Amino acid sequence: MANWIKITEVENIPSMGSRVVLVDKTEIAIFKTKDGSIFAINNICPHKQGKLAEGLVHGKNVTCPLHNWDIDLSSGEALGNDSGCTNVYESKIENDTVFISL
Partner 1 sequence: MKEKLIVIGNGMSGLRTIEDLFDITKDKYDITIFGEEPHLNYNRIMLSYLLSGEKTFEETIINHQTWYDEHNITLHKGDKAISIDKENKKVLSQSGKELEYDKLLIATGSKAFIPPTPGSELENVIAFRTKLDSDTILDLISKDQTAVVVGGGLLGLEAAYGIAMHGIKTILVHRSGSIMSQQLDSTGGRLLQKNLEKYGIEFKLNTTIEKIEGDGKVESVTFTDGVTVESNIVVFATGIVPNTALAKEAGLDTKKGILVNDHLQTSDKSIFAIGECVEHNENTYGLVAPLYEQAKFCAKKLADVSSDGYSGSTLSTRLKISGVDLFSAGDYLGDETTEELILLDEKAGVYKKLVIYDDKIIGIVLYGDTADASWYLKLLKEHTDISDLRTKILFGKSALSGDTGHGGDDVNAIADDEEICGCNGVCKGDVVTAIQERDLKTIGEVKSCTKAGASCGSCLGIVEQILVNTLGDEYNDTVEGICDCCDVGHKEIKECIDTNEFDNVYDVFRKLNWKTEDGCAKCRPAINYYLLVKYNDDKYQNDKRSALVNDRNFANIQKDGTYSVVPRIWGGLTTAQELKDIADIAVKYDVPTIKFTGGQRLDMFGVTKEQLAPMWKDLNDCGFVSGQAYAKGLRTVKTCVGNTYCRFGTQDSMGMGVKLEKLTWGSWTPHKYKIAVSGCPRNCAEATIKDFGVIAVDSGWEIHIAGNGGIKVRVTDLLCKVETDEELFEYTKGFMQFYREDAYYLERTAHWIERVGFEYIKNVMLNDKKRKYYALRFEESQKSAQVDPWAKAIKDGFTKEFDPIVIKPEDSESFEAKETN
Positions in the binding site for partner 1 (CB under 8 A): 3-8, 12, 14-17, 19-24, 27, 30, 34, 48-51, 54-59, 61, 63, 65-68, 70, 80-81, 102
DSSP for the chain reads ---EEEEEEGGGSPTTEEEEEEETTEEEEEEE-TTS-EEEEES--TTT---GGGSEEETTEEE-TTT--EEETTT-BBPTT---B--EEEEEEETTEEEEE-
Q: In the complex with partner 1, which residue's Cβ is closer, 63 or 91?
A: 63
Q: In the complex with partner 1, which residue's Cβ is closer, 17 or 75?
A: 17
What minimum distance in Å lies between the beta carbon of 85 and partner 1? 19
